[in-house]
């Protein structure tokens, strides 16, 4: 039995077209050199877990990043008649050079501003971490519930935190505050040294809702 071998001869133009398409098709699925270089050069930013821990008894604040204490600052906390709130909150806004408004009184940004030159509003309405025009109050129970820092410490802290960071305000010493701050810096009868309620009430910036004794400035 004879068998036949059938051979189909394509025109030269068709062969060239087929060969060219074979070479170019895979290249369409490959990243260009520019794309590859961009992917290699793109920096990778690790996610940092950041917490601010305030001990009312110690009157100190610790900045904790990924479980490591990176800074500790003295603070003023609420006095007996207007105590600082306790619990876990978050930073909801950060304002530079806020304007102070309270019962018709307006104080622009400057040395006389009762909240200093930085404000970090908390998720509890009307309360925040800020500066003061009375640096002698730092280290005492002297505020209307907010947490006050000295100017240099405030500016350093402000530069390191972001909206959404956790703020834990702890009223009574516990294992965490002992680990962060060591033995109590103040006697347990420190209430006898509380300042009289003579300080100007604090205030929150525009987007922070007023708290029990706070009003909101209209500008920042």
- Check if 130 is active-site: yes
- Name the residue with tokens 């369409």: 28
How many Å apart are CA 3 and CA 58, to the nearest integer? 101
Say which of 102, 144, 146, 188 is annotated catalytic.
146
Residue 114 lies in a domain: yes
Residue 164 lies in a domain: yes
Which structural domain, as residue segments, surrounds residue 135? 50-193
Helices (H), the chain: 12-24, 33-41, 151-160, 175-181
The model's pLDDT over 202-217, given as tens digits with 9 standing for 90+, comes to 545 544 433 333 433 4
User: Residue 55: which CATH number?
Assistant: 2.40.440.10
Q: Tell which residue, 158, 138, 134, has the closest CA to residue 147.
A: 138
Please give the model's pTM, rounded to 2 decimal places: 0.67
Say which of 102, 103, 130, 144 is annotated catalytic.
130
The 10 Å Cβ neighbour count of residue 116 is: 25
- Check if 102 is active-site: no
The model's pLDDT over 151-167, given as tens digits with 9 standing for 90+, comes to 999 999 999 999 999 99
Residue 61 lies in a domain: yes
- Number of domains within the chain: 1
Indicate the average pLDDT of the chain.
77
Residue 41 lies in a domain: no
Average pLDDT over residues 90-105: 90
**Strand ranges for the chain from DSSP E:** 50-55, 60-65, 68-74, 77-78, 87-96, 100-102, 105-107, 118-122, 128-130, 141-143, 147-148, 166-170
The model's pLDDT over 115-146, given as tens digits with 9 standing for 90+, comes to 999 999 999 998 999 999 999 999 999 999 99
Residue 29 lies in a domain: no
Pick from 28-42, 72-86, 148-162: least confident: 28-42
């Amino acid at each position: 039995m004879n068998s036949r071998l059938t051979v189909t001869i394509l025109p030269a133009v068709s062969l060239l077209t087929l060969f060219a398409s074979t070479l170019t098709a895979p290249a369409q699925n490959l990243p260009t050199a520019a794309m590859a270089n961009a992917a290699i050069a793109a920096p990778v930013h690790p996610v940092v877990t950041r917490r601010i821990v305030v001990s009312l008894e110690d009157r100190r604040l610790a900045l904790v990043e990924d479980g490591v204490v990176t800074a500790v600052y003295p603070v003023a906390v609420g006095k007996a008649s207007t105590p600082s709130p306790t619990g876990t909150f978050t930073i909801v806004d950060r304002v530079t050079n806020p304007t102070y408004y309270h019962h018709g009184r307006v104080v622009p940004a400057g040395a006389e501003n009762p909240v200093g030159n930085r404000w970090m509003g908390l998720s509890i309405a009307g309360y925040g971490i800020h500066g003061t025009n009375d640096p002698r109050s730092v280290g005492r129970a002297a505020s209307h519930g907010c947490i006050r820092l000295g100017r240099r410490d405030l500016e350093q802290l402000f530069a390191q935190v972001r909206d959404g960071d956790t703020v834990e305000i702890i009223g009574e010493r516990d294992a965490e505050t002992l680990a962060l701050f060591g033995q109590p810096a103040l006697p347990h009868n420190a209430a006898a040294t509380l300042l009289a309620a003579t300080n100007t009430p604090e205030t929150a910036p525009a987007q922070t809702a007023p708290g029990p004794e706070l009003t909101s400035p209209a500008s920042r």
